[in-house]
Chain A
Amino acid sequence: MGDGVTATQVVFWILAVVMLVSALGVVTAGNIVYAALFFIAALAGVAGIYLILAVEFIALVQLLIYGSAVVILILFALMLTRARERPQALFGRTRPLGIAAAAGLLAALIGGIVATQWVTPGSAADFQPIALQQIGDVIFTVWIVPFIIVGVLLSIALDGAIMLASPDEEE
């Protein structure tokens, strides 16, 4: 890895900048719908970084679940709450405090990363991408019980969401 800047690194930094600018757009945009659109760009950036790290499976899951399902849910929620029709303050009164707290958190995280001695692989030749088959083997052997529980949890949560959002018929 050490010598020179490789093409992968260049692509990584481009994706990282796109992702971070879109994320900033999500939290600072003055229009709620723009914030949701910035969110899609940020998710796509994260999926691109997954591809850089050579985990296509997670990139695909990211695009299918986050990039489509979650985004559509959020756009529906924005529509149902008619967020765009009434102009209103998008930020709370404690905004400066929130920005300061986030900056402090960032400083603490980066301080921790810089202070730690990371074990990094010696050269790019050592790098072995994780095969999809390996992920499947691990999920369906070691992690099979959590996998089943997560499936049950997902169906319970979706049933609960339907119950919460449906109108009360008896009233």
Chain B
Amino acid sequence: MPALEHVLVVNAVLFAIGAMGVLTRRNAVLILLSVELMLNAVSLNMVAFAVYGHIDFGNITGIVFAFFIIVIAAAEVALALGIVVRTFRNRATANVDEVNLLKW
């Protein structure tokens, strides 16, 4: 088994890469992909804590959390892509910096 710290460091790097994608990309679909990377890092973290904490604390709540995160991420992707397709139809762009309809 890899040490818990190593798993956590790998997850932290994955989370930061996802954050970098969210902060640097323009295309809404690519931003969504980066958000998914961040969600993956978080659920992997939850599972790591559950798997290692299970031995000492006998608690597997982290696994349930990861399961719920995956299910809710699927719902979120479906909705977000619906919004992207709709925006593309109305504004002919999928770039978030060109969709400034709500800008005050």
Give chain A's interface residues, CB within 8 Å of chain B: 1, 6, 8-9, 12-13, 16, 19-20, 23-24, 26-27, 32, 35-36, 39, 42-43, 46, 49-50, 52-55, 57-58, 61-62, 65-66, 69-70, 73-74, 76-78, 80-81, 83, 88-95, 97-99, 101-103, 105-106, 109-110, 113-114, 118-121, 124, 126-128, 130, 134-135, 138-139, 142-143, 146, 150, 153-154, 157-158, 160-165, 167
Contact = CB atoms under 8 A, between A and B. Distances in A.
Given A106-B12, A106-B13, A26 B37 contact: yes
B84 A81 contact: yes
Nearest to B13: A20
A162 B82 contact: yes
B101 interface: no
Q: Which of A46, A58, A138 has the most CB of B within 10 A?
A: A58
B16 A98 contact: no
A20 B10 CA distance: 8
8 shortest A-B CB distances, which residue pairs? A98-B23, A27-B21, A102-B20, A106-B16, A157-B75, A164-B82, A109-B12, A161-B82
Interface in B1-50: 1-10, 12-27, 29-30, 32-34, 36-37, 40, 43-44, 47-48, 50
Contact residues of B: prevailing secondary structure: helix
A128 B7 contact: no
A126 B58 CA distance: 12
Contacts of B34: 26-27
A70 B24 contact: no
Contacts, number: 244
Main secondary structure, interface of A, reads helix
Contact of A91 (B26, B36, B50): B26
A142 to B, nearest CB: 8
Nearest to B20: A102
B77 to A, nearest CB: 5
A164 B86 contact: yes
Contacts of A39: 33, 36-37
